[in-house]
Chains A and B, each alone.
Chain A
Amino acid sequence: MVKMEIDNQDLLEMFRLMLLTRRFEEKTQELLPSGKLQDFCHTCIGQEHITVGACYNLKETDLIMPSLRGRGAYIARGVPIKTLLAVMYGKQLGSTMPKESVHHLGLPEYGILVGTGIIGSDIAKATGAALAAKLRGTTQVVLDFFGDGASNRGDFHESLNLAAIWNLPVVYICENNHTAMSTSITESTAVEDIADRAGGYGIPGVVISRNDIIAVHTAVQDAVYRARDGEGPTLIECKTYRWSVHAGLPSLESRSKEDIEFWKRKLGYPIMDLKKELMMRGILTKQEVSEIEAKIRHDLEEAVEFAKKSPFPVVEEALKHVYA
């Protein structure tokens, strides 16, 4: 199989997707105090490059299992932002929409597997989807996203072991943002790199040490290439940092402003750094950035209107589909 090389167009598109994700997350945080959202805001601000970079250029038949902070994955897979916002408003867009949180939404038409609110459990489900891919003889690869907190769940360890012994086409992507709600990784995890745990299961572990979308994309593409070629799973750890408060609730912020600034400087600014790089290479101008921003602003306003106007589900919906 030939690996896809990224060109300037790809980089511009990744920039746009990250920016769209960022602005979407900012918008939901802005809307949260209005009380109109029927969901929390587990945003991926500062981590957009991981899901966008990983999902970019996947095949349509590939599957992804987003983490709690997976908005970029939904956006990179082509899910319209108006759909995501309408779900957050508790509106009915189709049979799936009203019952599951936007954070765990399963959307078969976009190859997105349904999650749960149980941190880490979805690692086993992603592994099962990869087993199905193998048994069915497809060339599908499954990308499984989760945070540093999830890597201490038993399902992480059981699943990586199963994927290793069965040689499954799955790429485990740990978004290590160094904090599980208020618990620092230094309190929860004794190893320096979660990727080191891959060695315990006989699979490759890779560390991406900066908020660098090109590095993430390249590492994931390498792992996807391996998986598709029948060489089994990979664990990729992306060092990153959550820039915003947990669940959109300032009362849950345990970290100091200085700490957050320290980590931003240390790991880099995923969107700004790419923007600088693209401008330096002469493939993006200030004018074009303004145009992209304006388009996103317009689309978001339209999405908010769409979400507000969409109908609520009928209450009878609550009783439906308990059984097939």
Chain B
Amino acid sequence: MVRKIGFRSAIIEAIREEMLRDTRVFMIGEDIEYFYPALKEDFSERILNTPISESAMVGVGVGATLNGMRPIVEIMFSSLLPLCMDHLVNSARMICYQYGGEVTCPMVVRASIGATGRGLGLHHSQSPESFILNAPGLKIVMPSTPYDAKGLLKSAIRDNNPVVFLEHKLLREKESSIPEEEFIIPLGKADVKRVGEDVTIVAMAQMLHKSLEAANKLHKEGISCEVIDLRTLLPLDENTIIESVKKTSRLITVQESPKAYGFGAEIAAIVAEKALGYLDAPVMRVANPGTPIPCTVLLEQAVIPSVEDIIRVTKEVV
């Protein structure tokens, strides 16, 4: 049996299934008892509201792993993640290293990302993955569909490493067909969401959907795009990218976060190191130009890559 469910339901299903499967899994976060009443009812003290204390919330999560639990910490907006950076960067990601592999830090930190076109403003609209990408020991997941979100979150909860799980707010409008039976999606494996011949477009989360829309339009103009959904930024599935570039000889990365030092730059570097000879055109990055996300919707949309931006850049290299 296949059902259509939305992004939020997919997330809740993943949490519910993993909490049933493993009594060590619990979740803390601001207002979560209000936002997840059914989980609260079924799991009681394993769903715990917190005061506004983001730093300690992640620190508490790390400490709970040291005493045998597997926490999920919900951080409402990813603009709050900088408050948690100390525990992510100085503790969580180093636990396994500090203990020489004897002890690990199986924690998931969930946070919403992205601009919505509804004027959420500078501090509720950021895409902060670049802040945390330079901290080996963390895994970073950014799903694009409810199906992927469910399978990836289940994997993240079972993973013995700290995982930052970034959920784009606009994905709450998406639906996926999801099987009744259990499934998981391994971390670190990209998914080719559209097969094509002329150019490889690498994207994630909401930018994946814009890239697919661009690919649709370009198809009508005779340009065949291969669209890769990375799904996991750390560890990065280099192989899928390189194999695709060997086929298409052209690469475009699309990200909502600022261009400089973003993941697009890393992918371009990897391709330069490992597949430069296959490239027939410069690698291009479609990204935020290097600004905060303004509140006014008109300005907000001016700094978020659009479908038209992706089409324009694709035509430059094909």
Which residues does A use to contact B, with CB under 8 Å?
A: 63, 94-100, 104, 106, 108, 113-114, 116-118, 121, 123-133, 135-136, 140, 142, 154-155, 158-159, 161-162, 165-166, 317, 320-324
Across the interface, do A128 and B61 meet the contact criterion of CB distance under 8 Å?
Answer: yes
Across the interface, do B63 and A128 meet the contact criterion of CB distance under 8 Å?
Answer: yes
Supply 28 A–B pairs (Cβ within 8 Å), ascending by A.
A95-B102, A96-B100, A99-B98, A124-B87, A126-B63, A127-B60, A128-B63, A128-B64, A128-B66, A129-B64, A131-B63, A132-B67, A135-B46, A136-B67, A140-B67, A155-B56, A155-B86, A158-B51, A158-B56, A159-B56, A159-B60, A161-B51, A162-B56, A165-B51, A321-B96, A321-B97, A321-B101, A322-B96
Most buried by A among B56, B58, B159: B56
Q: A121-B91, A135-B46, A324-B96 are in contact. Are A108 and B59 (CB under 8 A)?
A: no
Closest chain B residue, CB of each to CB of A320: B101
- Within the assembled complex, what's the spacing in Å between the Cα atoms of A279 and B284? 81
Q: Which residue of A94, A97, A99, A118 is within 8 Å of B97 (Cβ)?
A: A99
Residues 195-239 of chain B, each 1 if its beta carbon lies under 8 Å from chain A, else 0: 000000000000000000000000000000000000000010000
- Within the assembled complex, what's the spacing in Å between the Cα atoms of A106 and B105? 13
Q: A124-B60, A129-B63, A158-B56 are in contact. Are A320 and B46 (CB under 8 A)?
A: no
Q: A128-B61, A132-B67 are in contact. Are A106 and B98 (CB under 8 A)?
A: yes
- Within the assembled complex, what's the spacing in Å between the Cα atoms of A162 and B73? 14
Q: Using Cβ atoms and an 8 Å threshold, which residues of chain B touch A100?
A: 98-99
Q: How far is the CB of B93 from chain A (nearest CB, A)?
A: 8
Across the interface, do A133 and B67 meet the contact criterion of CB distance under 8 Å?
Answer: yes
Q: How far is the CB of B68 from chain A (nearest CB, A)?
A: 6
Closest chain B residue, CB of each to CB of A154: B55
Q: Using Cβ atoms and an 8 Å threshold, which residues of chain B touch A165?
A: 51
Across the interface, do B66 and A106 meet the contact criterion of CB distance under 8 Å?
Answer: yes
- Within the assembled complex, what's the spacing in Å between the Cα atoms of A178 and B52? 30
Q: Using Cβ atoms and an 8 Å threshold, which residues of chain B touch A166?
A: 48
Residues 234-260 of chain B, each 1 if its beta carbon lies under 8 Å from chain A, else 0: 010000000000000000000000000
B50 at interface (Cβ–Cβ under 8 A)?
A: yes
- Within the assembled complex, what's the spacing in Å between the Cα atoms of A161 and B52? 11
B104 at interface (Cβ–Cβ under 8 A)?
A: yes
Q: Using Cβ atoms and an 8 Å threshold, which residues of chain A touch B45?
A: 135
Across the interface, do B60 and A131 meet the contact criterion of CB distance under 8 Å?
Answer: yes
10 A-B pairs closest in CB distance: A128-B63, A124-B59, A95-B100, A158-B56, A125-B63, A132-B67, A128-B60, A324-B160, A158-B53, A324-B104
Q: A118-B90, A321-B96 are in contact. Are A113 and B60 (CB under 8 A)?
A: no
Q: Using Cβ atoms and an 8 Å threshold, which residues of chain B touch A116?
A: 90-91, 94
Q: Using Cβ atoms and an 8 Å threshold, which residues of chain A touch B101?
A: 95, 320-321, 324
Q: Using Cβ atoms and an 8 Å threshold, which residues of chain A touch B64?
A: 128-129, 131-132, 135
Q: Using Cβ atoms and an 8 Å threshold, which residues of chain A touch B65?
A: 128, 132
B26 at interface (Cβ–Cβ under 8 A)?
A: yes
- Within the assembled complex, what's the spacing in Å between the Cα atoms of A154 and B60? 13
Q: How far is the CB of B116 from chain A (nearest CB, A)?
A: 29
Q: Which residue of A106, A155, A323 is within 8 Å of B137 (Cβ)?
A: A323
Q: Using Cβ atoms and an 8 Å threshold, which residues of chain A touch B125?
A: none
Q: Using Cβ atoms and an 8 Å threshold, which residues of chain B touch A317?
A: 100
B69 at interface (Cβ–Cβ under 8 A)?
A: yes
Q: Which residue of B55, B71, B90, B97 is within 8 Å of A158 (Cβ)?
A: B55
Q: A135-B45, A135-B69, A322-B137 are in contact. Are A155 and B55 (CB under 8 A)?
A: yes
Q: Using Cβ atoms and an 8 Å threshold, which residues of chain A touch B37?
A: none
Q: Using Cβ atoms and an 8 Å threshold, which residues of chain B touch A96?
A: 98-100, 102
Q: How far is the CB of B70 from chain A (nearest CB, A)?
A: 10
- Within the assembled complex, what's the spacing in Å between the Cα atoms of A117 and B90? 8
- Within the assembled complex, what's the spacing in Å between the Cα atoms of A162 and B71? 16
Q: A114-B66, A159-B59 are in contact. Are A125 and B91 (CB under 8 A)?
A: yes
Q: How far is the CB of A113 from chain B (nearest CB, A)?
A: 5
Across the interface, do B98 and A324 meet the contact criterion of CB distance under 8 Å?
Answer: no
